[in-house]
């Protein structure tokens, strides 16, 4: 059966056109290019989209029953302060050897962002089999090449993303926008993000040299990597991408990894509702029954009549469901607050105010979440920094935020951790703490003090911005 792969990640395209690739048997590419949503050809449609506020995580957790997993997932996302609004989440849990523990892979997007996308698509008149974030599609594509960790730099238009992918799951993600010069912003983004992605490997590997030999792939619209970041491993993987498909244009798979990766995305990260997917499967199963019934209607009149009645009932159910979906989509869209109302609420909550200072509740919650088990926070001091200029390691602000007002206030934080255990354990836990803090600010100083008869102490001073704990 023909499979139609669609991507709406290209911001340069209009709301009515998408990038597509049509696959036949044995992953043979029969057509590619731009196509209008109203002119989609026959085939099972799968679509990838991008939103900067998407959330991805993979962690080891206590094994829960299937009924409790959704609650565990939502609690983890809420604990990470990933969203300030309703969200849709998908997960995939695999048991670990020994029992009692599991690997939990998560993906989530804002409900309003998904509703805006769904409102553009002809879901009622043209059934879709899968809708998933672009990052999930890229991770699924790389899982067909290697099960080992891979760093990915991807740009589509003005959006830049850095990923650490292993065994088809996303372990770390960083996103930013191109604000001025593409080449300069790409280089700065790579210089900042690649070491963080390499450090994230320590979560599942104790080999210190692993990060130094990680393959690095530059995909999508990415201009290229500096010689210091590129590797023969990454070049080898890029060459293998094209071999996964037959008949694809030269380098098209590397140019559109989120498009071709849709072929391998599992149902675990499909953001379509289960009710809608059931209707689509019912429609696909009904089609082969109607065709032979029409051809043999002269001989098997009763069977043809039965099939016609079944088809009519199915069509009525589909029409009712279409009307319900359209009503729900319109209701969600009408309930979205106006931009000025959102800004007013944010000001009341102190979300963007440079006068109310650092959101200590979110800062303390984030510090507590990222402190390894057994480590004790002995001292925490936060003072206003004399220099309010943005920190170099922070994500570049958007054009709307640039127009808002003065730069965000910087804060100087001094933290003292008590790190129990032998020196090797203290050093490993200290490295994990510094890696986490580096994602939220600029480390000024750090020192691990080990005493013969006293617990080890890690002293860290960093500069952060209030905006780092507002999203």
The pTM is what? 0.60
Instruction: Please determine, for residue 356, whether its predicted confidence score (pLDDT) is greater than 60.
Output: no
What CATH number corresponds to the domain at position 414?
3.30.70
Domain end, chosen from 234, 269, 304, is at 269
The stretches of 28-147 forming alpha helices (DSSP H) are: 69-79, 111-120, 134-143
**Does the residue 343 lie in any domain?**
no
Tell whether 446 and 327 lie within a shared domain. no
What's the residue count for the chain? 471
* Structure confidence by residue, pLDDT tens digits, 51-110: 998 999 988 888 888 888 899 899 999 998 899 999 999 999 988 887 788 888 999 999
Range of the domain at 45: 3-269
**Does the residue 189 lie in any domain?**
yes
Domain total in the chain: 3
Residue 177 pLDDT grade (very low, low, confident, very high; cuts 50, 70, 90): very high
Tell whether 152 and 282 lie within a shared domain. no
Tell whether 284 and 228 lie within a shared domain. no
Q: Quick one: 233 exposed, middle or buried, by C-beta within 10 A (0-12, 13-18, 19+)?
A: middle
Tell whether 258 and 303 lie within a shared domain. no
**Does the residue 11 lie in any domain?**
yes
**Does the residue 341 lie in any domain?**
no
**CA–CA separation, 257 and 156 (whole Å):** 11
* Structure confidence by residue, pLDDT tens digits, 131-165: 999 999 999 999 999 999 999 999 999 999 999 99
**Does the residue 348 lie in any domain?**
no
Residue 264 pLDDT grade (very low, low, confident, very high; cuts 50, 70, 90): very high
**Does the residue 326 lie in any domain?**
yes
**Does the residue 420 lie in any domain?**
yes
* Structure confidence by residue, pLDDT tens digits, 186-225: 999 999 999 999 888 877 765 544 445 789 999 999 988 8
Domain end, chosen from 269, 299, 326, is at 269
**Does the residue 421 lie in any domain?**
yes
Q: What is the pLDDT of residue 345?
A: 67
Tell whether 25 and 52 lie within a shared domain. yes
Tell whether 168 and 216 lie within a shared domain. yes
Name every residue whose Cβ is closer than 8 Å to that of residue 349 and which is 6 or more positions away in sequence: none
**CA–CA separation, 457 and 463 (whole Å):** 20
Tell whether 260 and 178 lie within a shared domain. yes
21: left (phi over 0), alpha (psi -120 to 50) or beta: beta
Tell whether 76 and 53 lie within a shared domain. yes
Residue 289 pLDDT grade (very low, low, confident, very high; cuts 50, 70, 90): very low
Name every residue whose Cβ is closer than 8 Å to that of residue 4 and which is 6 or more positions away in sequence: 20, 21, 22, 23, 40, 41, 43, 44, 45, 46
Q: What is the pLDDT of residue 438?
A: 82
């Amino acid at each position: 059966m023909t499979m139609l792969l669609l991507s709406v990640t290209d911001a340069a395209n209009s709301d009515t056109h998408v990038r597509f690739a049509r696959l036949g048997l044995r992953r043979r590419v029969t057509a590619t290019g731009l196509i209008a949503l109203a002119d989609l050809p026959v085939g099972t449609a799968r679509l990838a989209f991008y939103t900067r506020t998407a959330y991805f995580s993979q962690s080891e957790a206590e094994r829960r029953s299937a009924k409790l997993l959704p609650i565990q997932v939502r609690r983890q996302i809420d604990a990470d302060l990933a969203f300030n609004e309703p969200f849709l989440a998908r997960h995939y849990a695999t048991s670990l050897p020994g029992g009692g523990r599991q690997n939990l892979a998560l993906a989530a997007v804002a409900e309003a962002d998904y509703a805006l996308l769904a409102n553009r698509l002809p879901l009622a008149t043209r059934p879709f089999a899968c809708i998933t974030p672009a990052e999930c599609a890229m991770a699924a594509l790389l899982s067909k090449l290697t099960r080992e960790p891979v760093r990915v730099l991807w740009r589509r238009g003005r959006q830049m993303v850095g990923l650490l992918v292993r065994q088809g799951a996303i372990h770390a993600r960083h996103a930013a926008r191109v604000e001025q010069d593409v080449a300069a912003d790409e280089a700065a983004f790579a210089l900042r993000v690649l070491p963080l992605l390499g450090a994230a490997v320590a979560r599942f590997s104790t080999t210190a040299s692993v990060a130094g030999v990680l393959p690095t792939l530059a995909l999508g619209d990415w201009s290229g990597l500096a010689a210091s970041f590129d590797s023969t491993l990454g070049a080898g993987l890029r060459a293998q991408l094209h071999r996964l498909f037959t008949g694809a244009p030269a380098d098209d798979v590397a140019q559109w990894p989120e498009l071709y990766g849709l072929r391998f995305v599992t149902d675990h990260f499909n953001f379509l509702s289960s009710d809608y997917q059931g209707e689509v499967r019912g429609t696909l199963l009904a089609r082969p029954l109607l065709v032979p019934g029409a051809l043999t209607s002269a001989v098997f009149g009763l069977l043809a009549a039965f099939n016609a009645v079944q088809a009519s009932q199915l069509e009525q159910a589909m029409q009712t469901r279409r009307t319900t979906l359209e009503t729900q989509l319109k209701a969600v869209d009408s309930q979205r607050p106006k931009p000025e109302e959102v800004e007013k609420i944010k000001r009341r909550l102190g979300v963007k105010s440079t006068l109310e200072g650092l959101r200590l509740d979110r800062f303390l919650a984030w510090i507590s979440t990222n402190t390894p088990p057994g480590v004790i926070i002995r001292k925490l001091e936060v003072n206003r920094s004399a220099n309010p200029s943005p920190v170099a390691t922070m994500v570049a602000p958007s054009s709307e935020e640039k127009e808002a007002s003065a730069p965000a206030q910087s804060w100087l934080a001094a933290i003292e951790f008590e790190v129990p255990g032998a020196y090797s354990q203290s050093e490993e836990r200290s490295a994990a703490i510094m890696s986490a803090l580096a994602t939220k600010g600029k480390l000024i100083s750090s020192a691990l003090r080990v005493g013969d008869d006293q617990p080890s102490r890690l002293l860290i001073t960093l500069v952060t911005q209030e905006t780092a704990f507002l999203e």
